[in-house]
Amino acid sequence: MKTALVTGSSGLIGSEMVAFLDERGWNVHGVDNNMRRDFFGEHGDTTWNLERLRTTTRSFEHHDVDIRDRPAIARIVAETKPELIVHAAAQPSHDLAASRPFDDFEVNAVGTLNLLEAARAHTPEAPFAFLSTNKVYGDAPNELELVELETRWDYADARYANGIDETMRIDATMHSLFGASKAAADLLVQEYGRYFGLPTVCFRGGCLTGPNHSGAELHGFLAYLARATRDGLAYRVFGYKGKQVRDNIHSYDVCTAIMAFAEAPRPAAVYNLGGGRENSISMLEAIARFEELFDRRLDWTYVEEPRRGDHICYISDLSRFRTDHPQWELTMQLDDMLRELARVSPAPVGS
Ligand SMILES: NC(=O)c1ccc[n+]([C@@H]2O[C@H](COP(=O)([O-])OP(=O)(O)OC[C@H]3O[C@@H](n4cnc5c(N)ncnc54)[C@H](O)[C@@H]3O)[C@@H](O)[C@H]2O)c1
């Protein structure tokens, strides 16, 4: 039986990965200390998701460990010797980082280094998949010329018809502290590939979504929007006339991308990973669709000032990943994701 280590295993991506591997006969060790609750309050509590995994998996062991705890991480990796590491634990919010800069950096950058060193020492052959982010590009994508359409912004230049690729620069741009800590981690992951030869990959995510997101106002765009519409919560739209565009990928399709890499790994790989143009949606469009699905109006207000460093239009160009892993394909279309979120709806607060 093969063994995998998944960090952030009670979160959106980590929990999907645990279930995915468990179903395929892997022995899975998860590391998560429910720090999402500490970051985002009760909406961010992931206990329900851990309980769900405990009752639905066959070979899953949970470790309530902080990835900042270097000796504990080294011990887990030494003892379990995973053949695959999926690193999805993070402080994931662009906005929260400014109020908790040390926590943000220590979790995102130093926590990643702890795992990389443990992998190098104890299991250097194991594919190491890191969930990076498109925020490593900072606000450089906002320099692209845009056209304003009725409900969304779009790229004016046809060269960006498929979206933004990995050649977008990552320096001399405003990242937010979150983007900076993730960029530090992204570079470290690449370096452990280039310098030490570990089979590492950075997946620079667009919006990752799915039913197992503990959606909070500061993180988990579609999950929180679904919750706000369903529960009549006040929702704020920040800047860009509500026409900002995100591409959305389902957590299941993130798992299949990770497995495609794990089956044919190479050192220091970097891929943009999102839903691409066909799964892109603007804030106004998402609000309209959830209002339709829930058959109720969202109580939303417009805040003129955009979030600092927020993207106006971000669509991931998936060409590089598709070229390297031609068998991989997106299985979940945008409307399937929205309907799934509306149907299962996010977990009740505090459950
Ligand atoms: N969700 C998105 O839209 C998105 C977009 C781009 C990139 N990403 C990246 O994907 C990864 C997974 O995101 P997600 O949406 O699943 O986030 P999530 O918050 O749902 O999951 C992260 C998990 O990590 C855990 N965690 C946080 N700090 C920890 C620590 N110090 N020790 C142990 N566990 C800790 C949290 O409790 C949480 O369960 C993150 O690295 C994030 O930056 C996410």
Q: Give CA–CA dist 321/162, Å, rounded.
A: 13
Which pairing describes strands 245-250 and 280-282: parallel, antiparallel, or unpaired? antiparallel
Residue 336 alpha carbon to ligand 1 centre in Å? 23
Per DSSP, the three-state class of 51 is helix
Confidence band of 348 (pLDDT split at 50, 70, 90): very low
Residue 113 alpha carbon to ligand 1 centre in Å? 16
The pLDDT tens digits of the residues spanning 254-296 come to 999 999 999 999 999 999 999 999 999 999 999 999 999 999 9
Mutate to test the pocket of ligand 1, among 34, 35, 207 (most ligand atoms within 8 A of CB): 35
Q: Is 32 in the pocket of ligand 1 (CB under 6 A)?
A: yes
| DSSP characters over 164-190 | B-TTS--SSS--HHHHHHHHHHHHHHH
The rounded mean pLDDT for the chain is 95
Element (H, E) at 110: none
pLDDT for residue 338 is more than 50: yes
Lookup: tokens for 120? 């190098």
pLDDT for residue 351 is more than 50: no
Does residue 238 contact residue 307 with C-beta atoms inside 8 Å? yes
- Per-residue confidence (pLDDT) for residue 226, from 0 to 100: 93
Burial 51-76, CB ≥16 within 10 A → b, else e: ebbeeebeebebbebbbbebebbbeb
- Per-residue confidence (pLDDT) for residue 344, from 0 to 100: 79
Identify which of 7, 151, 25 has the alpha carbon closest to the alpha carbon of residue 72: 7
Report helix, strand and coil shares of the chain as percent, to nearest 5: 45, 20, 35
The pLDDT tens digits of the residues spanning 184-203 come to 999 999 999 999 999 999 99
- Per-residue confidence (pLDDT) for residue 197, from 0 to 100: 98
Instruction: Give residues with Cβ within 8 angstroms of 34, minimum separation 6.
Output: 10, 45, 46, 47, 50, 64
pLDDT for residue 209 is more than 80: yes
The pLDDT tens digits of the residues spanning 59-104 come to 999 999 999 999 999 999 999 999 999 999 999 988 899 999 999 9
pLDDT for residue 240 is more than 60: yes
Residue 147 alpha carbon to ligand 1 centre in Å? 33
Does residue 18 contact residue 6 with C-beta atoms inside 8 Å? yes
pLDDT for residue 181 is more than 70: yes
The pLDDT tens digits of the residues spanning 128-176 come to 999 999 999 999 999 999 999 999 999 999 999 999 999 999 999 999 9
Percent of the chain with pLDDT over 70: 97
Q: Is 229 in the pocket of ligand 1 (CB under 6 A)?
A: no
The residue whose C-alpha atom lies closest to atom 1 belonging to ligand 1 is 208
Confidence band of 308 (pLDDT split at 50, 70, 90): confident
Q: Is 11 in the pocket of ligand 1 (CB under 6 A)?
A: yes
The residue whose C-alpha atom lies closest to atom 11 belonging to ligand 1 is 88
Confidence band of 350 (pLDDT split at 50, 70, 90): very low
Confidence band of 345 (pLDDT split at 50, 70, 90): low
Per DSSP, the three-state class of 284 is helix
Mutate to test the pocket of ligand 1, among 20, 135, 208 (most ligand atoms within 8 A of CB): 208
Residue 123 alpha carbon to ligand 1 centre in Å? 23
Q: Which atom of ligand 1 is nearest to the CA of 251?
A: 16
